[in-house]
Structure 1
Amino acid sequence: MADRRSSRVWFFDLDNTLHKASGHVFGALNVAMTDYIAEYLDLPRDEASELRARYWHRYGATLLGLERHHGVSAAHFLAQTHALPGLEDHLHSHAHDLAALRRLPGRKFLLTNAPLAYALRVLAALGMSRDFEGVVAMEQMRMFGQLRPKPDARMFRHLLARLRLQPGQCTLVEDTLVHQKVARGVGMSTVWMQRWLQRATIGPEAGARLRRRPVYVDQRVRSLAQLKSLETACRGDPTSGSCG
């Protein structure tokens, strides 16, 4: 599982980073969340959909707005909206991805705003369950009684302190730019996974200009195999821009 021969520590996002979620999965989640809001807040579906999108844009996660303004139970919301019957039928991995992940030196953690049960289901379906030292999901991002998911800088700092890591050791591999911006701000290096964003119509980076590289993004990649060259570069020159 963990490879301690390298001092590099990798934090991987899940959806649209380790697998394609911009099609069926994100669409199903949007429907499930809209249905939940419509039922539990007694709203017409169009108003529920607008509220879901508004809270997502304002807080980075629809759940935060529902919890803060409507007293929605986070555990209940996550369980109901991420049940997704038949999810596994829409999840696929490739042998080259699994091989690249397993060849990548360093410690590896999953860092996702999804609930733990969903994250574990996806990893199992992808055949990646044994490839991560730990899974940090939405439930593990509660601080002082409040959820602090990505892109909350306090959560990043707390997580690194809990794992006794220095920010410069760590690389966040993500499809979502705002998460990378905050991670870079706390001293982590950042990799923008663009593999499934080219035709994405749903998700935080739908329609993103993929040829640009914001100043807070150290590298852009389109495959897990490309991460090996980044790790090698960091060992050769730990002070390079792509190493934090």
Structure 2
Amino acid sequence: MSLSPPSRRQGRARPRAGSPVWLFDLDNTLHHASHAIFPAINAAMTRYIVDALSMATAQADELRLRYVRRYGATLLGLARHHPIDPHDFLRSVHTFPDLPAMVRGERGLARLIATLPGRKIILTNAPERYARAVLAQLGIERLFERVIAIEHMRRRGAWHAKPDLAMLRRVLREARVPLGDAILVEDTRSHLKRYRRLGIGTVWIVGHLPRAARTQESRGRMAGTGRPHYVDRRIRSLKSLKRGHGAGRKWNRSKSGTRN
């Protein structure tokens, strides 16, 4: 996968204050990563751990999963407990010569995103170069004012990732996003659960989840709603975002539930 350096767009007009700011996760939210990309990333991470730490494959795979559960991203555990180069790790496990054949998005995705009111930002635990490559392949990179990737979540030399609360407050403050205007669209339910504490809007997208994960993620729903109490909307397709959302603070004030 040959990528150009990340670009910075200048002069984009920003919507007025109080309009929604959509925080989109990338993988399994804007495209079907479970189809090919997630299996490839997981296999590449396990191989990297095998080579870097001289582990057996089964042991490396268990370590990968343990760090995801504990820290939210395998990288954070590796960076904290092992002498690896985080940038080399990110580059190695997110490089795909056949990326165009691996990316699957919804039909009419660019139109769906473009017609949503307000600002749009990517918030992903993936590296920026990979995120921009996927967005370019989907034909939607120009629709987002910025990409907040895992490199931008670092602070004072320490790596952070979703669902870290202090990290989200900081990156949104730097992006001038009021918490009351933010709406997170995300496939990982635990991220939504944690971030709802900040009072942001939460949209759980399940259409790209594997069947086993969808069954596991469905636990804890409110009776008759198909969603947990900390999820404002549960959707299968991004097409559903065009229905039912008001703007920014007005929509957030009308959410069910209260801040914790």
Please give the TM-score of this superposition, normalised by the length of structure 1. 0.91
Corresponding residue for residue 9 of structure 2 = none
Please show how residues 46-195 of structure 1 align to structure 2 within 5 Å.
46-195=58-207
- Given the superposition, is the C-alpha separation of residues 237 and 169 from structure 1 closer, same or farther in structure 2, using an over 3 Å criterion? closer
Find the aligned partners of 1:242 and 1:217 in 2 and give their Cα distance.
9
Matched with 2:234 is 220
Residue aligned with 1:241, SS = coil
Aligned counterpart, 1:209: 218
Taking structure 2 as the reference length, the TM-score comes to 0.85
Secondary structure of 2:32's counterpart equals coil
Q: Does the C-alpha gap of structure 1 residues 2 and 32 become closer, same or farther in structure 2, counting only changes over 3 Å?
A: farther
Q: Mind listing any 5+ residue stretches in structure 2 that lack a counterpart?
A: 1-11
SS at 1:173's partner residue?
Answer: strand
Task: Indicate the RMSD between aligned Cα atoms, in angstroms.
Answer: 2.2
Which residue is 2:253 aligned to? 239
Q: Which amino acid aligns with 2:23?
A: F
CA distance in 2 between counterparts of 1:136 and 1:237 reads: 24
Shift of 1:91: 1.0
Q: Percent identity?
A: 46
Q: Distance in 2 between the 1:81 and 1:166 partners?
A: 34
Change (3 A) 1:238 1:67: closer
Measure how far apart 1:13 and its partner are. Answer: 0.2
- Relative to structure 1, the CA distance from residue 117 to residue 231 in structure 2 (aligned partners, 3 Å threshold; closer, same or farther) is same
Q: Which runs of 5+ in 1 are unaligned?
A: none
How far apart are residue 232 of structure 1 and its match?
A: 3.0
Summarize the alignment of residues 20-59 of structure 1 with structure 2, pairs less than 5 Å apart: 20-59=32-71
